[in-house]
Structure 1
Amino acid sequence: MTKRLHTLTVGTVGPRIAFLHGLFGQGRNWNQIAKALAGQDGSAAQCLLIDLPDHGRSPWTAEFSFAAYADAVAATLRAAAPGETWTLVGHSLGGKTAMVLALLHPDIVDHLVVVDIAPKDYGSLERFQGYIDEMRALPLEEIESRADAEARFEEPNPGVKAFLLQNLRSDRSHGRTQWRWQANLELFATDAALGHDSRIAGWPKSVDDLPPYEGPVLWISGGDSPYVQPEDGDTMRRYFPLARQVTIKGAGHWVHTEAPEIIVEALRRVLARER
Structure 2
Amino acid sequence: MSTTTTDRISIHPFDGPLGAEVRGSMSSNLSGVDTFTIVEALRLHQVLVIKEQPMSDETLLEIASWFGPQFVAPDGIPVLGTDEQGAVTVLSNRDEKGVGSRIALPFHTDFQFMPHPLKGAVLHAVDVPPQSAGGDTLWSNMYQALEELPADLRAAIEGRRGTGINPYAGGLQGAGFTGETQKYIDDVIPDFWHPLVRTHPETGRQSLYFSMFIHHIEGYEDRPDEELELLQALRAHVDQDHLYYRHKWSAADTIIWDNMCTNHKRDDFDQAFDREVHRVQIAGTKPF
**Shorter-normalised TM range:** under 0.3
State the TM-score, normalized to the length of structure 1: 0.27
TM-score, with length taken from structure 2: 0.26
Bigger helix share: 1
